[in-house]
Chains A and B, each alone.
Chain A
Amino acid sequence: MASNDDDLWQALGAITGEQVATEADYEHGYKREMRSDLLRYVTFMISGEIYGLPIEQIVEISTVFPTTPVPRTSEFVIGIGNMRGSVMPVIDLGVRLNLGAVERKRETRVLIVRHQDEPHGIVVERVLEVISLPPEDMESTPGGIGSTRADFILGLGRHRRRLIIILDLGTVLAERDFLVGRYRRERGVAQ
């Protein structure tokens, strides 16, 4: 299917990171992946900064649902919530990133992510859009960012001149951090 024309468009797309509709798209709907190595990210906002997570880590995006606080957990753990029958921990990403609690508004959303095969809810201020970033537009974390936050950052991407902070789900949802410090040693060992 790849005519030279297509390749040209794809090359363009690779540079801009944007998708360009082709004739086929007009016929069959705008669905095609232009470059197979483009990574797609769901972007969202927390205190004026744009963050992103790889789309494949996200199961769904939900409006805020009720949660039950769990004692003895860190401040960023809002509690557990029940989303269609599965119970999951829900965290406040604002608190987690030391940016202050996410204010609950109409736009507030919960990202349901799958981490280590278990669902987790992540509360964010606002979900923006899904973007594609070519790997070459990603830079690794620059030095000089506050040390704890740097751990959460997988890399930085640029999209339409804005900085997208790609988060590392592994550190954001690190198990040991869920517990208040003084309880940490107990059962973790036995598991």
Chain B
Amino acid sequence: MSESPEFVSEAQEIIETFSRQLLEIEGQLRDGDDYDPDLLNGAFRSVHTLKGLSSLSGVNEIVDLSHKLENTLDALRLGKLPLNQSALDLLFESVDLFGRLLAGVVEPDGGQPVEVDSFLAKLAKLAEAPEEQAEDALSWLDDSILGVLTEYEEHRLRENVRLGRAIYRIHASFDLLAIDVGIEALKAKLKNYGEVITYLPSADLAADDRIELGILMGSKHSIPELADGIAEEGVAVEALATGERFVIPAPSEAPEPLPEPEPEPAPTTSSSGTRVEAIDDDDFPDDEDDGSSSGSAPDSGGSASAPAGGDSGGASSAGGDGRGGDRGGSVSSEPPMDDGGDQVSLKSLSQTVRVDLRRLDHLMNLVGELALVHANLTNIGDRMQRTQLANHIGGLSSTSGEHLREFQDQLRVMNRRLSLLQQGILEVRMVPLGQVFDKLARVVRKLGRESQKDIRLAISGAETELDKLIVEELSDPLMHMIRNAIDHGIELPAERVAVGKPRAGKISLSAFQKGNRVVIELTDDGRGMDWRIIRDKAVKRGFVSAEESSDITPGQAINLIFTPGFSTRDKATELSGRGVGMDVVKTNISRLSGMIDVASEPGRGSRFRITLPVTLAIIQALVIETSGQTFCIPLNSVLESIMVQSDEIQTIEGHEVVSVRGRTLPLIHLSKVFELGEENPIRDPRSNYDRLYVVVVGLAQHRVGLVVDELLGQQDVVIKPIGRALRQVPGIAGATELGDNRTVLLLDVATLVGEAVGGVEAAVGSGGGREGIGVFSNHDVGREKEHGGWGDHGF
């Protein structure tokens, strides 16, 4: 096997598309609509592409599976097999199967071989399913039409009839030079009213520069409605009524002025034994009438028909007119739709490039280094300016001063370009959240079926973009939360009905951008969580003391589910069980510098809200100094920087706090947390300094003040990984460079805040003790005193 990463990612993408198409079909079927046949065609094409791709790469298992699947899909789209729930289930199963096969490709040694045979057997069984088709459903239709339809078109026609739609034929004439545009425009309008089944050839041409087409479509709408919708000059609508072939004359399209009621194009009954051309022939005068009455330079009579083929062949555009030409001459029965579809997909493929994320990282680094070079150049410029100044005083010429100014101007230009470049690279890394949401939709479906619950997933904001890295890291936490919502949140259908809720549970997943952050909300309308139960559990587990629990607010109580160790042990109890592993979710989110919180109402449902930075690669940072060492703090977790007089600091049980606008803010000395030596000995703050800088940082609803020596300003910084070994250092998120080639550490505010309010032991996970509650209690002045501190944890 010669599978490359490109193959895997491309195949994965196809499979995802395939699954999305299936989901959509299922959704349409469930909503009682009949499904959009284009989706099924799309699914067929996806599998077909996958087959081609994997045979190129020599992945035979996938070739085999996709080949069989392709056959089934073909039968489905031709109507040889009914597309029902069981068929869909089977198709969904194949998505999983493909995924596992692909995983096997990535890690040939991992796991046991994927068992495909049983699936293939089911597929074969499906294919044997009896075919019921009333053969004469179309007996009323003229052979001349039936004769030119492809198998697929015929199926669609039958399907439309079966759905009780009336079959129409739209006559339109197009300018040869712009026929592709014209057909597309018309098709787009018609799609709103029904399904375009095929294009029928028309016999002869009105003029050399125009071509006639008949469009066969099925629609539930009446002729006037259709005509209204098309609203295009020179177009005639004709209903092919049931029964014997009887053509109702169409009041063909009335242009704006609506000059006169359409002249009846009555004679259409002709049916002249030959072929479709005949019909068009008959209709033709009708069209002409139209045109002239509305004054739109119509085709000048049915004179020259012969040159049709030649003309259209000569015209540049692809599918439409070529087909028209063919038909004009000989009536061939090409399947037109397929051609068009393939062309479209080819085009879109060529517009994307798959790039390894590491290459982008590399580019990013280079840009970062360029910025450093730029900073150095600026320095040199400044130095030159100083010498220049000195020389000037010494009476030297000022031409070099000109040069210097130019040089500095160019530097400024370079700076702007650099930031554009940086931004451009960042944008390349952005991917829509839809990538994750699609996967989640599949999970919802699967879990819903497994748990016998009826679940609707509403997705909004899938187009919201986030850094690829974040999107990848997000899928697991989100999956976990959705699993919780389904397992524990949404009730069984009967239960829901009993409490007066709709049978189907609703989970909605929405994303939107808010400033430079993205908010993702996961809401369910399930049974929700009772904060009292959670509070009591927390007390029982020793996370909260009894007296603390007495004045805990509901919001704080519910957020206790994020406490490490809270949930897992509660899994089996009658507590709604929500929060299984929520601490892991929280850890993952905060590793992305994100925050998560939850609100819930018993009986009404829960809402989780995740807030994330748009990108991790470049962030705005506040540069600070403490004990002679420089650090960066991600600006998105900084709420404000304040200056505090030392006499405002009070201690509560030895922990320093300060009141800011009526709220008590626990203080952390960075130098102390990091044991940075004692340039500012801070045993007793009041005696040693009068003022200090405090950077107020927040994580979710928790606020902590970081005491630092200096604020050095804000800067865009490129975050660099610090390697596996140092990544484990709690409180450090990464490194970056400042202009002077210094490497500077970036603080992990989430962890620091967690430590501050939870104590080191809690952060390390060796049992938080009662300090745990501190995490949730910053709103409350009284509680700070008991556990606001970081101080008693052995620094």
- Chain A residues with CB under 8 Å of chain B are 66-73, 77, 79-82, 85-89, 116, 118-120, 173, 175-176, 178-179, 182-191
Beyond A68-B735, A186-B763, whether A87 also contacts B742 by CB under 8 A is no
Tell me the nearest residue of chain B to A72, going by C-beta.
B729
Beta-carbon contact of A80 and B587 below 8 Å: no
Beta-carbon contact of A88 and B723 below 8 Å: yes
Beta-carbon contact of A185 and B723 below 8 Å: no
Beta-carbon contact of A118 and B723 below 8 Å: yes
Beta-carbon contact of B724 and A118 below 8 Å: yes
Which A residues lie within 8 Å of B723 (CB)? 80, 87-89, 118-120
Which A residues lie within 8 Å of B587 (CB)? 190
Beyond A118-B723, A182-B764, A186-B763, whether A80 also contacts B735 by CB under 8 A is yes
Which B residues lie within 8 Å of A88 (CB)? 723
What does the 1/0 interface line of B699-729 toward A look like (CB < 8 Å)? Answer: 0000000000000000000001111111111
Complex CA–CA separation, A185 to B728 (angstroms): 9
A81 to chain B, nearest CB (A): 6
Which A residues lie within 8 Å of B675 (CB)? 71-72
Closest 10 pairs between A and B when the two form their complex, measured CB to CB: A71-B674, A178-B725, A87-B720, A68-B743, A175-B725, A82-B743, A118-B723, A87-B735, A186-B764, A187-B728
A46 to chain B, nearest CB (A): 21
Beyond A68-B742, A71-B674, A186-B764, whether A89 also contacts B726 by CB under 8 A is yes
**Interface status of B731 (Cβ within 8 A of chain A):** yes
Complex CA–CA separation, A189 to B587 (angstroms): 11
**Interface status of B366 (Cβ within 8 A of chain A):** yes
Beta-carbon contact of B741 and A82 below 8 Å: yes
Complex CA–CA separation, A80 to B736 (angstroms): 10
Beyond A80-B722, A89-B722, whether A72 also contacts B731 by CB under 8 A is yes
Which B residues lie within 8 Å of A82 (CB)? 735, 737, 741, 743
Beta-carbon contact of B727 and A71 below 8 Å: no
**Chain B stretch 377-426: residues in CB contact (< 8 A) with chain A:** none
What does the 1/0 interface line of B348-377 toward A look like (CB < 8 Å)? Answer: 000000000000000001101100000000
Beta-carbon contact of A188 and B741 below 8 Å: no
B764 to chain A, nearest CB (A): 5
Beta-carbon contact of A80 and B743 below 8 Å: yes
Q: How many residues belonging to B are interface residues under a CB distance threshold of 8 Å?
A: 40
Which A residues lie within 8 Å of B721 (CB)? 87
B77 to chain A, nearest CB (A): 47
Which A residues lie within 8 Å of B448 (CB)? none
- Among B368, B675, B725, B765, the one with the most A-chain Cβ atoms within 10 Å of its Cβ is B725
B240 to chain A, nearest CB (A): 66
Complex CA–CA separation, A179 to B368 (angstroms): 29
**Interface status of B241 (Cβ within 8 A of chain A):** no
Beyond A175-B728, A179-B729, whether A185 also contacts B765 by CB under 8 A is yes
* Selected contact of B730 from candidates A69, A119, A173, A183, CB within 8 Å: A183
**Interface status of B274 (Cβ within 8 A of chain A):** no
- Among B675, B735, B763, the one with the most A-chain Cβ atoms within 10 Å of its Cβ is B735
Complex CA–CA separation, A189 to B673 (angstroms): 22
**Interface status of B451 (Cβ within 8 A of chain A):** no
Complex CA–CA separation, A20 to B374 (angstroms): 50
What does the 1/0 interface line of B761-774 toward A look like (CB < 8 Å)? Answer: 00111100000000
**Interface status of B584 (Cβ within 8 A of chain A):** yes
Complex CA–CA separation, A173 to B723 (angstroms): 12
* Selected contact of B369 from candidates A85, A116, A173, CB within 8 Å: A85
Beta-carbon contact of A187 and B727 below 8 Å: yes
Which B residues lie within 8 Å of A119 (CB)? 723
Beyond A69-B629, A82-B737, A189-B765, whether A175 also contacts B584 by CB under 8 A is no
Complex CA–CA separation, A191 to B724 (angstroms): 9
Which A residues lie within 8 Å of B584 (CB)? 190
**Interface status of B533 (Cβ within 8 A of chain A):** no
**Chain B stretch 99-157: residues in CB contact (< 8 A) with chain A:** none
Beta-carbon contact of B741 and A191 below 8 Å: no
Can you name 14 A-B residue pairings with CB atoms under 8 Å? A71-B675, A72-B730, A73-B729, A77-B726, A82-B741, A87-B720, A87-B743, A118-B724, A182-B764, A183-B728, A185-B766, A186-B763, A187-B728, A190-B587
Beta-carbon contact of A70 and B741 below 8 Å: no
**Interface status of B676 (Cβ within 8 A of chain A):** yes
B258 to chain A, nearest CB (A): 71
Which A residues lie within 8 Å of B588 (CB)? 190
Which B residues lie within 8 Å of A188 (CB)? 728
**Interface status of B745 (Cβ within 8 A of chain A):** yes
Which B residues lie within 8 Å of A86 (CB)? 365, 720
